Structure 1
């Protein structure tokens, strides 16, 4: 009897010892943070690998809800409201699931993020958005399941999903324009030189009312006076050029060039000289 008890204790101690050994996760977790316009997106998911297996149509069946990765829910969060497909999605955290098909996937954003894998009981009322994503075949195979934020603009990003030889992408639109417009409207009640400058440059970059941009950049430079920095004068020259005022653009570029040379900034010296040559002033 003593021998049996001793053997049991030895086995128990052996298992206890092994449980303290650290080994790599077969599907390691990943966390990505991405700023899209003025919206912060955070993605958390687990990353299984192929390991010689056929993935889509086998390990991951077609036309069946998939957890989109491994282990706990894949989760995505937004700090502003966003638009996915035709759905407005409130700021918050959501689980992401997918139903893969040969030619397209359905990607679902779900308000309950507490599940391990897919929910035991699906609740349609918790679906906040659905998006159809076309399947693109890749010329190489991706060994490890990968999610990305692709094709970033001020107003949108593509949530990319890659594994085996498949890529699908879901567009997420963000409300940058409305946030900036509201900020501009609020700030213009008592703006400073920096506020006028930021608003003018935004209008230039987004192809908005260039005459309004010109008015704002002029106010910014006027308020700064002799202390207007060369990089702001550079933007003034570009706005004038876009507005069709070549004479004003050349004058601003010459001031920017002078300031850049005094500051020893070779990049701005070159950019201003290139623009002056383009506008026939050098």
Structure 2
């Protein structure tokens, strides 16, 4: 009898370990690192990349949008989105010191409020941040994308004044300009 219980527990334990290994090797929203480097400025963003999968991404809560307007969004999935600056920068026109920050947004139909928070490195991003630790909040316009993007991405593109950090998903692009101070 004891042998059967031990075999049963072993099978359950093996199934749990197998599930954990599988979910780490093949996550539904894989971790991604986007980096930019120019003139001694290094920017690194660590985030998770959710997929659209036929869902309404941005919209009204009553329409069952995955990310409703006016609600906290961790700019990805799973863990928080963290951004690191190697030098002091201007983030959408506001000064920010070098360091690592938790980055999140509150989407709207015409603009996103993007915030940097000193509470970086929090694993479980579904929990809203301690808003008293917000360092800056900026409003940036939403632009329509010429193509639909299935998987959320954060990328960088340099221009004559600095670099633009773009959040691209579904049918929108949100651009945050960043310049050296």
Aligned to 1:100, which of 99, 102, 107?
Answer: 107
Aligned to 1:170, which of 147, 163, 176?
Answer: 176
Structure 1 residue aligned with 2:125: 117
Q: CA RMSD in A?
A: 2.2
Structure 2 residue aligned with 1:76: 83
Query: Partners of 1:76 and 1:16 in 2: how far apart?
Result: 33
Segments of structure 2 that go 5 or more residues without pairing to the other structure are: 60-64
Larger RCO, structures 1/2 (Cα 8 Å, 6+ apart): 2
Structure 1 residue aligned with 2:5: 5
Query: Partners of 2:20 and 2:125 in 1: how far apart?
Result: 26
Q: Which has the higher strand share?
A: 2
Query: Partners of 1:81 and 1:53 in 2: how far apart?
Result: 38
Q: Which has the higher helix share?
A: 1
Greater alpha carbon shift after TM alignment, 162-171 vs 143-152: 143-152
Structure 1 residue aligned with 2:55: 53
* CA contact 1:81–1:91 (8 Å) conserved in 2: yes
Please give the residue correspondences for 1:14-93 in structure 2 after superposition, counting only pairs within 5 Å: 14-16=14-16, 18-19=18-19, 21-22=21-22, 23-57=25-59, 58-93=65-100
Larger radius of gyration: 1
Query: Partners of 1:139 and 1:121 in 2: how far apart?
Result: 33
Query: Partners of 1:86 and 1:34 in 2: how far apart?
Result: 19
Deviation at 1:132, TM superposition (A): 1.0
Change (3 A) 1:6 1:101: same
Structure 2 residue aligned with 1:148: 155
Segments of structure 1 that go 5 or more residues without pairing to the other structure are: 176-282
Q: TM-score, normalised by structure 2?
A: 0.84
Query: Partners of 2:75 and 2:141 in 1: how far apart?
Result: 16
Q: TM-score, normalised by structure 1?
A: 0.56
SS in 2 for 1:135: strand
Query: Partners of 2:115 and 2:8 in 1: how far apart?
Result: 50
CA offsets 1:95-138 (integer angstroms, 9 cap, x no match):
110000011110111111132215445232x2122211111112
